Structure 1
Amino acid sequence: MVGTVPPVGSPVPTVTTVPFPRRPLEASDQVRRWYENELGWPTVPGSPGSPVRLSVGRRFDVLDVPLDAGRAGLRRLAPESPVAVQGDRMRLLLAAGSADEVPGVLDWLEWGALPLDLTAVGEGGLMDAPPPPEPGSTGPRPLPAARSGTLDTLQGAAVWLRPPVPGREVEASLPTLSALGGGGGAPDLVRLLDTVATQCHRLRLRARAQPPAR
């Protein structure tokens, strides 16, 4: 009979709920989760089709230099210091807060009055997030070789030349001003800046000496 109540004690029919199938994670979601969960680095989601970006200034700062200048600066870094490459630019990660020190250090090194093709990015800045390294990959990525005074640059998206390693104290390997004269293992920001500034100046002189294209 319609509208009747089942007798007391009779079993109540159960309704089986079938969960909706899980939607596979987008590539950008996987990248974002790797940085946030494995490294604890804050990210900024990009618009659809654009890369995930890393928030600079909280865990690290960035020194953006020409690829050739960055090549010279690699010897001033610890082997585990993360380094990224995008196009003809290299991004050297610095200790958080170091970007504010860069202008003063360049002035002290007597580079401040010269136009140098380098940029320090600190709090509030963003950096394209390179894809995480492939599982099982070891060692740094080979740096493009020089040919006839030019460089074979890596085109397109950012990539890790030296990727950060989850579980390792990445920040302890980043160049910092406090390393000057200290006994710690962090690289010295002053020596790094002097090296890359020297190379930036050489690149500028070399470009000025080249005859104009006809």
Structure 2
Amino acid sequence: MVGSVPSVVIPAGPLAVPPAAAPTSPVPFPRRPLDPDRPAEGLRGWYENELGWPTVPGEPLRLRAGVRFDVLEVPTEAGHAALRHLAPGSPVAVRGDRMGLLVAAGSAEELPGILRWLEWEALPLDLTATGAGGAVEAPLPPGRINGVTAVQGAAVWVRPPVGGCEVEASLPTMSALGGGGGAPDLVRLVDTLAVHCHRARLRRACAQPLAFS
């Protein structure tokens, strides 16, 4: 199949209805004081105060998905190949050999339908999504929190967020399909990720030594 999506009209069905806008809180999240003697709490405060992104109590620090954003997760190899399809302000993080791409809240629910419409659902793609009710490890913002250092295998930002509302407006979304807005099209992003996930799987399969009985 071809990795790009032609300009077509999606037939009526679940994909024809854009997801609801990302839920927002009418009251700002409580501001958590930045304590220089507790760098981990300073990191939590950076996410909650500067970005308005809710976190999960406890350690390690995790961000709630499904409120301000969802996360598509793919092998790092496939993720890097898709970065050019993202707006410059779209945050991307890496944890080990996995890459997380932030997308509009509600996108995780759309993913199965998008893969089915693109005819990718029958293939074992290493493409997952975290949405409402889930959480992801909070990557360390580069150069922002003194006293906090990244440990091996911890999540780090490849493209760090620079502002809450501005970031969310640039996230890939279903509502961008066929529109003239600035947000990237979620369907095209998913198709690109699926293509590169499939290619990475084929390369791994070809690299396996042949077994002889």
TM-score by length of 2: 0.76
1:113-170 deviations in whole A, cap 9, x for unaligned? 11100101100111110112315xxxxxxxxxxxxxxxxxx94110000000136611
Question: Compared with structure 1, are the counterparts of its residues 180 and 65 closer, same or farther at alpha carbon in structure 2 (3 Å cutoff)?
Answer: same
Question: What's 1:71 paired with?
Answer: 80
- What's the CA shift for 1:24? 4.8
Partner of 1:133: 142
In the alignment, the residues of structure 2 paired with residue 193 and residue 120 of structure 1 have an alpha-carbon distance, to the nearest angstrom, of: 11
Which of the residues 32, 53, 78 maps onto 2:44? 32
Report deviation, 1:205: 1.1
The aligned runs of 1:100-119 (5 Å cut-off) are 100-119=109-128
Q: TM-score, normalised by structure 1?
A: 0.75
Partner of 1:190: 187
Identity of aligned residues (%): 68
Describe the superposition over 1:81-128 as per-residue Cα deviations: whole angstroms up to 9, x where unpaired. 000011111000000001100110111111011110010110011111
- Give CA-to-partner distance per residue, 1:13-64, whole Å, 9 cap, x none: xxxxxxxxxx8532210110000000000001333xxx20000000000000
Match of 2:68, SS?
coil
Structure 1 stretches of at least 4 aligned residues deviating more than 2 Å after TM superposition: 211-214
Partner of 1:92: 101
Tell me which amino acid in the other structure corresponds to 2:140.
P
Counterpart residue number, 1:44:
56
2:201 is paired with a residue whose SS is helix
Counterpart among 127, 130, 149 of residue 121 in structure 1: 130
> Does the aligned pair in 2 maintain the 1:86–1:155 contact within 8 Å?
no
C-alpha separation in 2, matches of 1:108 and 1:131 = 36
Gaps of 5+ in 1: 1-22, 136-153
Number of aligned positions between the proteins: 171
